[in-house]
Amino acid sequence: MKKINVLKLSIAAAMSVAVLGASVAKADSVTATANASIATALSVTEGTQVNFGKVAPSAAAGTVVLAVGGTTTDTNVTRLSGVTAVAGAFTLAGEASATYSVTLPASTTVDDGGNSMTVNAFTNNAGSALDGGGAGTFNVGATLNVGASQAAGTYSGSYAVTVNYN
């Protein structure tokens, strides 16, 4: 019988040590690290201004549709020499291979100080991502709405070109 009591006493002692050891566990802490990466700012630069060229109006309203490649489709206007039509050209700089989108306005107005015309139906040929060096280019075209017997003058105006990372 003594053997059984010693065994019970040894088991009870081992359990006490295990419980005491668990309650005396030391707390620990560590300094952790947080990281962030800020992308290179995306910039857009106008290299060439949109220019619809020089046209003569007719008695009916007309349009000059300027494609992103620089060609025009003229309706109810006569194209004159001297000022060549040119699509707008833009360059981009930003993060290598980053995707982006271009937003152009629905319309804008060009004027000569007293008379105006509407420019609308803006288009562009932008890709969807910058190249491996973080560069990109695109052209802009639009439609010039020429009024019937539009007054002669040199018309100009501005429009917003917004480029954002996707």
- Whole-angstrom Cα distance, residue 90 to residue 49? 9
The ranges assigned to domains in the chain are 43-151+158-165
Predicted confidence band of residue 11 (pLDDT cuts 50, 70, 90) = low
Q: Is the pLDDT of residue 93 over 70?
A: yes
The answer to which of 20-29, 66-75, 108-117, 123-132 has the lowest mean pLDDT is 20-29
How many other C-beta atoms lie within 10 A of the C-beta of residue 8?
10
- Whole-angstrom Cα distance, residue 136 to residue 90? 8
User: In the prediction, which pLDDT does 92 show?
Assistant: 98
Q: Is the pLDDT of residue 22 over 50?
A: yes
67, exposed or middle or buried, with CB in 10 Å at 0-12, 13-18, 19+?
Answer: middle
User: In the prediction, which pLDDT does 7 show?
Assistant: 45
Q: Specify the higher pLDDT residue, 86 or 7.
A: 86
Residue with tokens 């070109």: 161
> Region 132-153: what's the mean pLDDT?
98
Q: Please tell me the pTM assigned to this model.
A: 0.80
Predicted confidence band of residue 6 (pLDDT cuts 50, 70, 90) = very low
The angle subtended at Cα 162 by Cα 143 and Cα 146, nearest 5°, is 15
pLDDT one-digit tens code per residue, 27-76: 999 999 999 999 999 999 999 999 999 999 999 999 999 999 999 999 99
User: In the prediction, which pLDDT does 144 show?
Assistant: 98
The answer to which of 1-15, 26-40, 64-78, 138-152 has the lowest mean pLDDT is 1-15
